[in-house]
Structure 1
Amino acid sequence: MNFASDNVAGTSPALLQALADINDRPLPSYGGDPHTAEVEHLCRKIFEHDNLRTLLVATGTGANALALSALTPPWGAIYCHSDSHIAVDEANAVEAASGGSRLMTIDGAHAKIDPDKLRAAIYGKGIVHHPQPSTLSITQMNERGATYSLAELSTLTAIGREHGLRVHMDGARFSNAIAGLNCTPADMTWRLGVDVLVFGATKNGALAGEIVVCFDPDLADELEFRRKRAGQLFSKMRTLSAPLAAYLRDDLWLENARHANAMARQLAQGLADIEGAQLLRQPDGNQMFLTMHPALAERLRAAGAEFDDWPEVGPDVVRLVTAFNTREADVHAFLSLAANA
């Protein structure tokens, strides 16, 4: 009954098999293998974009930092939510990779950027004393488990275009957002003006690896050099690309996310009847936040349930996260314990 994070989950068997399948034969290094090319080919099909380029990196922080460094000059401003991962949990990696750009944080309910506050924050263009408006970073699904609707995304990217901003999307849980909204990846990204997406895999059944998807293919050439400089170019790139090709092939990425989301909905439905537990909002994907009486939390943990406190959201708030391999039996066991605690 581990609902602490989707990072604690293991790896989809198909990805482990893909890694085993390439282990006994030599393949070209540094991304010259056929599996790296297949990842790009599959992404072009998934995103309905014949010219996009992809780069594989080890981690989400590395992917965000590299993508934003290619979009933002050292004197540039990046607009993001105050609770965004790049602002709170990446140890200034973006600022370091971009040579000194500034994160301009913006508030908004449920960790969504408020459009009016975004408009008010964009200023100083052409004034040498101010950071220059450069990039908008949107997290989809975000750190509070909320998903922007397509209309909300369209509003934000329109503001970005109005002010000449490039658009980066942190998609660590992009698959869960797609599954939750039941829309196409193209409609959530480049058709709305997203320039670069970090297409997450680690939280959704991958052993490691994130895909930097460049809808502006010209950015990829610069990113190749930035990736090498950052130490993110794997010599045995096939160890990332073969499993990631299996992840994308036959929509396993979407199947995994749908399962995680379904388990979250089951948890939410069951918790609605539990005294001492109150959902803050219905889950859009695989994360939920709720207030839980400390006595209930203590009894659940004593019985073996694992989940994290989230005091920055509020007193007695906990976070529950489901994963691609969350068992329905564990959901039922957790709810049964909660009901009888």
Structure 2
Amino acid sequence: MFFASDNASGIAPDLLAAMGAAAGGYAMPYGNDDLTRAVEARVREVFEAPEARVYLVATGTAANALALGCLCPPWGRVWCHEAAHIEQDECNAPEFYMGGAKLSLIRGAEAKIGADALAAALDAAQPGVVHSAQPGALSITQATELGATYTAAEIAALCDLAKGAGIPVHMDGTRFSNAVARMNARPADLTWRAGVDVLCLGATKCGAMAAEAVILFDPARAWEFELRRKRGGHLFSKMRFVAAQMLAWLEDGLWLRLAGHANAMADRLAAGLAAAGAGVLNPIDANMIFARITLAQHRRLQAAGARYYLWPKAQVPEGGGDAPVEIRLVTSFATTPEDVDRFLDALRG
């Protein structure tokens, strides 16, 4: 009953087998191998973007920080949601790789940036004023840190505002697969067709050991990214092992099946929570659930071995068994119906 994070799941069998197959023989290092070239071709096919350039790294933080370093100068600012991973969970890595640029935070329900809020932020900027940070980039997250998704129309509206202000758009796609699976959308419609310039596509939370792809829909930025990746220590000698994971993940729609399963388990869990009288606090757009249970239920779940996070991260309240406790639950490709049902049985007592 492990619902703390999809990061905690193992490796999908097809991806592990692909890494094993890549272990035999020899291959040129630093991405000059057949598997890495095959990944580049496969990503271009999936995203219907023949000019896109594709670069592999092992962590989402590296992907986001290196990508933003290409988009925003040191004197710039990146607008993002106040709950964004780049703000909350990356130890200032984006600021470091941008050479000192700042993050400017925007509020919004479900960790989504609304068009009106972005327009107000852009209107308050002072481009051309030497005393102010200059417009640098917009960063949005799909799916968000609160489990919500942006529609293609919502992304396009934000991108139109950003382009009107002369700034590029970065998408943190660590759970992009969950969003695509949920909406049954074309990846191109949720990215470059809507105006996104760079997507950081995450596989690690969806079956990989460690594999993230930075997709530059504008090839003019490619050489700078190559230099930044090398300078940042993320150009791996044996890149074929990262490529093997990403290629197997994207082959025959496996990435969407894995994400779709995680979403389905979230649906099952949310329905069971609601039936048990717990409060489900968010629309289930992806594979994350925020719920309100009682302290007595929390204690039963902990005693049964359930793992999840309190949310917001706080101490369990003192008091009687009816005291409310808010928690975050995340399902993964490895979550089984039996995991969900055992959790619900423990919840009900």
The two structures have a TM-score, normalised by structure 1, of 0.97
Partner residue, 1:97:
97
Q: Distance in 2 between matches of 1:159 and 1:24?
A: 50
Contact in 1 for aligned 2:298/2:325 (Cα 8 Å): no
The AA in structure 2 aligned to 1:199 is L
Inter-partner Cα distance in structure 2 for 1:148 and 1:19: 33
5+ residue gaps, structure 1, are none
TM-superposed deviation, 1:316: 2.1
How big is each residue's C-alpha offset from its partner over 1:21-54, in whole Å with a ceiling of 9 and x where there is no partner?
1212011100011000011101011001111010
1:187, 1:55 → 2: CA distance?
A: 21
Q: Contact 2:180 / 2:187 at 8 angstroms: preserved in 1?
A: yes
Match of 2:252 in 1: 250
**1:289 matched residue in structure 2:** 290
Distance (whole Å) between structure 2 residues aligned to residue 151 and residue 26 of structure 1 = 46
Which residue of 326, 331, 345 maps to 1:317? 326
Which residue in 1 is equivalent to 2:118? 118
* Structure 1 counterpart of 2:289, one-letter code: M
CA contact (8 A) 2:106 2:113 kept: yes
Q: How many residues matched?
A: 339
CA distance in 1: counterparts of 2:22 and 2:156, whole angstroms: 42
Report what 2:321 is aligned to.
none
Q: What SS does the corresponding residue of 1:188 show, helix, strand or coil?
A: coil
Q: Superposition pairs for residues 1-341 of structure 1, below 5 Å?
A: 1-122=1-122, 123-275=125-277, 277-311=278-312, 316-339=325-348, 341=349
For structure 1, which segment, 147-156 or 193-202, has the greater mean C-alpha deviation from structure 2 after superposition?
Answer: 147-156
Q: By how many angstroms is 1:289 displaced?
A: 0.4
The 1-side partners of 2:151 and 2:119 are apart by 19
User: TM-score, structure 2 length as denominator?
Assistant: 0.95
Mind listing any 5+ residue stretches in structure 2 that lack a counterpart? Answer: 316-323
Supply the distance in 2 between the matched residues of 1:18 and 1:104 (Cα, whole angstroms): 41
Give the 3-state SS of the residue equivalent to 2:275 in structure 1: coil
Find the aligned partners of 1:243 and 1:273 in 2 and give their Cα distance: 38
Q: Which moved more, 1:294-303 or 1:165-174?
A: 294-303
The residue identity in structure 2 corresponding to 1:324 is: F
Q: CA deviation at 1:201?
A: 0.5
- Render the CA deviation track for 1:86-121: whole Å, top value 9, x for unaligned: 011101100000101110000011111132221222
- Aligned letter for 1:192? A
Deviation for aligned residue 1:299:
0.4
C-alpha contact (below 8 Å) 1:166/1:194 kept by paired residues: yes
**1:294 and 1:147 mapped to 2: Cα distance?**
30
SS in 2 for 1:186: coil
CA contact (8 A) 1:198 1:212 kept: yes
Q: Structure 2 CA distance, aligned partners of 1:212 and 1:329?
A: 35
Note if contact 1:138-1:168 (Cα within 8 Å) is conserved in structure 2: yes
Give the Cα–Cα distance (whole angstroms) in 2 for the partners of residues 206 and 125 of structure 1: 42
Counterpart residue type for residue 240 of structure 1: V
Counterparts of 1:31 and 1:313, CA distance in 2: 43
Q: Is the 8 A contact 1:268 1:282 kept in 2?
A: no
Deviation at 1:312, TM superposition (A): 5.4
> Retained in 1: the 8 A contact 2:76–2:102?
yes
Question: Displacement of 1:329 after TM fit?
Answer: 1.0
Amino acid at match of 1:289: F
Instruction: Give the letter for the 1:273 counterpart.
Output: A
**Percent of matched pairs sharing the same residue:** 51
Distance 1:313 1:268 in 2: 22
Query: How far apart are the structure 2 equivalents of 1:313 and 1:163?
Result: 39
What is the SS of the residue equivalent to 1:187? coil
Instruction: Give the CA deviation at 1:313.
Output: 9.6
CA shift at 1:218, angstroms? 1.2
Cα distance in 2 for partners of 1:88, 1:78 equals 14
Say which SS state the counterpart of residue 188 (structure 2) adopts. Answer: helix
Are the equivalent residues in 1 in contact too, given 2:44–2:51 (CA < 8 A)? Answer: yes
Write out per-residue CA displacement over residues 217-238 of structure 1, whole angstroms, 9 at most, x where no aligned residue.
1111110000000000001111
The letter for the 2-side match of 1:152 is E
